[in-house]
Amino acid sequence: MRTSLRLIPSFYRGIQNVTNTCAVERCMRDAPVARLTHSRLFAHKVQEKEIPLEDKKLDDLIQKAEASPPPAIEPIDIDKPRFPGSRSEWTEKLEFLMPEAYPGIPVYRVMDRKGLIRDAAQEPKLDEPTLVKMYQKMTLLNYMDRILYESQRQGRISFYMTHFGEEGILIGSAAGLDDKDLAYVQYREAGVLMWRGFTLDQFMNQCYGNEEDLGKGKQMPVHYGSKELAFVTVSSPLATQMPQAVGSAYAYKRAQNGQIVICYFGDGAASEGDAHAAFNFSATLDCPIIFFCRNNGYAISTPTSQQFRGDGIASRGPGYGIPTIRVDGNDTLAIYNVTKAARDISLQQNRPVLIEAMTYRIGHHSTSDDSSAYRSVDEVKHWDKEDNPIARFRRYITQKGYWNDEKETQWKDQAKKQVMQAFQRAEHKKKPSPEELFNDVYDELPWHLQKQRKEMMDFVRSNPEHYPLKEHAKMGAA
């Protein structure tokens, strides 16, 4: 879906919204610049009014106004509806807008399921190193998921969420952004962080909550964050990141720093009130933000058919005045194209853009979920085998001559080795010191919490049989 914005000076836009000369005179009474052109714009209805020359700047403005031709003004049709907030024509036909009567929003794609380009004009001009990097990051994320998922099943970590089936969305969109663009995420966006340079050790440290975890063991596993990589820390409640992302985008707009905000969310989060508030605020405040919806078919166990009516999430965009597109989420090249184009629109026009990426969640919602209770194994196998984003992208780069079976074997061995080594290092690191409970809350710890910290440290030291301090980083002096 293509959109464009024709910028109209607010003065002339105001003129188009009034229906008579008297109203125009009232709205311009206190507008100095407007008064300069008032007599020329409406010479056919009112007499020219003398304007006092208060200073040289005003005199210069008048001379410029007289020297330039009057702007063309479209004639006002007094028989057209002029209700605020709508673009309408009159009708005498009593007819409701029925959602079933509208065609579905099309799904943009670049390549088919066999990895073949459908339209050469749509193929992005990406070089071999970039395409190979994209494939390697997708597969590395997949290997990391497998190891950490099994780690949870073995009781080594407490929780995990995989990205199976959505690797193309994450890597494709990350590649289409500037690495300094601020990312607000839900919880299934580790691939974006991996693309930006978050290391396997950092992922493992966070999931194990050891002493080198950036969050110091205070967050659940998969709740990553990195200020250095412009990636806001994951928060569990759905959609809370969405209005916050709009606030950051508004700040970016005021700062004019050349960056945008991207906010990832799922189809389940789109049903939260925070999502609607975020859409509306971003549109009315003209915020440079991309709303990126991963529509993977399920909100935990709730299928989309039970979650909303209408044509998906994309159909909501136009209602809020947001440029919108729907894309094949398993087509990494299409994801790259739409993200890059959305960034250009958002940055150049200072407005939000909505992307709905259609995909399928192959894995369970999390390690706390058993998806076989609400969907068939055959359904999952179909998507995994017939429309897997990794397999499709591999076919594409193989056809380009950038990949082959030998490289695949070498890379698999290398990637698995990297993941296992990071896993082993993280598992053998100590847990954070218990006193970390009191850190990073106040800039300067209040006296009563200093007292509590001392009491806690004295207590755990005097009860070593209950507190295995050898497994934790050393505590400071009491």
Which amino acids are annotated catalytic?
150, 236, 365-366
Of the candidates 193, 138, 189, the one whose C-alpha atom is nearest the C-alpha of residue 389 is 138
CA distance linking residue 176 with residue 338, whole number of Å: 8
Would you say 51 and 62 are in contact if contact means Cβ atoms under 8 Å apart?
yes
Of the candidates 212, 223, 227, the one whose C-alpha atom is nearest the C-alpha of residue 433 is 212
Judged by DSSP in three states, 166 sits in coil
Angle at 262 between CA 259 and CA 267, to 5 degrees: 170
Q: If you write DSSP's letter for every residue of 78-115 in order, what string do you get? A: TTS---TT-------------GGGSPPPP-B-SB-TTS
Those residues with Cβ within 8 angstroms of residue 4's Cβ, 6 or more apart along the chain or in another chain: none
Residue 366 carries which side chain, given as an amino acid letter? S
CA distance linking residue 259 with residue 238, whole number of Å: 25
Residue 113 carries which side chain, given as an amino acid letter? R
Backbone angles phi, psi at 266, to 5 degrees: -105, 175
Backbone angles phi, psi at 212, to 5 degrees: -100, 5
Percentages helix, strand, coil for the chain (3-state, rounded to 5) are: 45, 10, 45
The residues facing 226 across adjacent strands are: 231
- Can you tell me which residue has the tokens 């954070």? 432
